[in-house]
Amino acid sequence: MPPKSDICSDRGLTERLRRTRFGDLRWFDRIDSTNTYALDAARAGAPEGLVVVADEQTAGRGRLGRRWESPARASLLVSVLLRPGSPRPQRATMATALAMRQAIDAVAGVDARLKWPNDVVASGKKLAGVLAEADGDAVVVGAGCNVNWGALPDELADTATACDLEAGAPVDRAELLVCFLHALDACLDDLQAVPADYRAALETLGRRVRVERTNGDLEGEAVDLDADGALVVSSDDGRRVSVHAADVVHLRPTDS
């Protein structure tokens, strides 16, 4: 069964989602991890459409086992449960990133872009991240978006940003959530269009990049996405490499 957590409610938002697949909204004041809760619920038999939201996470996580930390009520922290016939995690990640970008534009008026493999960026800084995890026939996709931070701590100021900082005013997290879920529902209904839409919004293509891999870094130009969503890099040594999982750093032309 899902782990113990603080009492949740739908915050009065379920009616606004009734035309989507997301019919079970659970918004917690505090929880360990929205992805962990949704995965445990999936193992216990929860159907597709569960949405888990938290004001605060005590054990949030991102890619490669990293922690995702955010002050209470500063970010939109949301996970959705998809099944059966769920898209593969990479396609689900692309759909979720696209939906978050659309919601940020619609609600905050911020023209965000995408950074491969799982980030939404604005002004060249990270605004949101996505993590998809599969278990059996279920895929849980989590997204964390910096919404109302006021000011970022010094250690994040050069690499991260928030919706309120980009928009110049506070942003309604509930409105952002509803818009995100409607956009995600539309993306999931038309998965064939997702790769092209993702590619069009991808800031990484055409950039000089450093790919940080466990088997050694790779530098070159990001030139394409393949059919599975892997990043294709034309390396400095003349190879054409498909990268399926790695951190990517956008470089200036003079960087090395």
pLDDT digits (tens, 9 = 90+) for 13-56: 999 999 999 999 999 999 999 999 999 999 999 999 999 999 99
Shared domain check, 98 and 73: yes
| Count of Cβ atoms closer than 10 Å to residue 2 Cβ | 18
pLDDT of the residue at 235: 94
pLDDT value, residue 176: 98
Residue 60's pLDDT band (cuts 50, 70, 90) = low
Same domain, 133 and 237: no
Q: 149, 178, 144, 182: which is closest to 166 by C-alpha?
A: 149
**Tens digits of per-residue pLDDT, 194-216?**
999 999 999 999 999 999 988 88
Tens digit of each residue's pLDDT (9 = 90 or more) over 104-148: 999 999 999 999 999 999 999 999 999 999 999 999 999 999 999
CA distance 198 to 193: 9
Range from 9-13, 140-144, 179-183, 241-245 carrying the lowest mean pLDDT: 241-245
Cβ proximity of 241 and 232 under 8 Å: yes
The b/e string for 131-157 (b: 16+ C-beta within 10 A; e otherwise) is bbbbeeebbbbbbbbbbbbeebeeebe
Residue 195 in domain: yes
Residue 3 lies in a domain: no
Who's near 17: CB < 8 A, 6+ residues apart? 23, 25, 51, 178, 181, 182
Residue 2: pLDDT band (50, 70, 90) is very low
State the Cα–Cα distance between residues 3 and 184, nearest whole angstrom: 26
Q: Which domain holds residue 42?
A: 8-200
pTM of the model: 0.91
For residue 243, pLDDT beyond 60: yes
Residue 175 covered by a domain: yes
Domain count, the chain: 2
Do residues 231 and 128 both lie within one domain?
no
Q: Tell me: pLDDT of 3 over 50.
A: no
Q: Which helix (H) or strand (E) holds 240?
A: strand 240-243
Residues 25 and 68 reside in one and the same domain: yes
Question: What pLDDT band is residue 64 in, cutting at 50, 70 and 90?
Answer: very low
% of the chain surpassing 90 pLDDT: 82
Q: Is residue 101 part of a domain?
A: yes
| CATH number for 160 | 3.30.930.10
| Beta strand segments in 46-181, E | 50-54, 75-82, 113-115, 119-122, 125-135, 138-146
Same-domain pairing of 97 and 67: yes
Whichever domain contains 237, its CATH number is 2.30.30.100
Residue 241 has pLDDT above 80, yes or no: yes
> Has residue 256 been placed in a domain?
no
139 in any annotated domain: yes
